[in-house]
Amino acid sequence: MSLAWIALLLSGMLEAVWATALDASQGFRRFWPSAVFVVSLAASMVGLAFAMTEIPVGTAYAVWVGIGAVLTAAWAMITRRDRATVLRVLLLIGLIGCVVGLKAVS
């Protein structure tokens, strides 16, 4: 796996961090979640930009969003901010399959 793909995976994980921190910031009224949001957002964007130097933009963006969406939704279900249903879990598994498929054909 190339450095670009590793950066993309880490950036996707950071997307979940900043999305969760944004929710926890309560509209930027709480300092620490807001600070985590800003730092993780910046790091996520830097990693995505680096990954796009080797990975086509469509693939990179789709993988980045997919990783972030799956992790954010999974975390929300684990922490009981969202309901975990069989259908939601199956749809997230389908999204993971799509991300893996994009990597496989790249």
* Position 106 confidence tier, pLDDT thresholds 50, 70, 90: confident
pLDDT in tens, 74-89: 999 999 999 999 999 9
Predicted confidence (pLDDT) per residue in 35-67, tens digit:
999 999 999 999 999 999 999 999 999 999 999
Q: Are 67 and 99 a contacting pair, CB within 8 Å? A: yes
- The residue whose two tokens read 């975390």 is 75
Contacts with 104 (C-beta within 8 Å, 6 or more apart), sequence order: none
Break the chain down into helix, strand, coil percent, rounded to 5.
80, 0, 20
- The pLDDT tens digits of the residues spanning 19-29 come to 999 999 999 99
Closest CA to 45 of 6, 15, 5, 72: 15
pLDDT of 102 higher than 90: no
| Cβ proximity of 24 and 30 under 8 Å | yes
Is pTM beyond 0.85? Reply is: yes
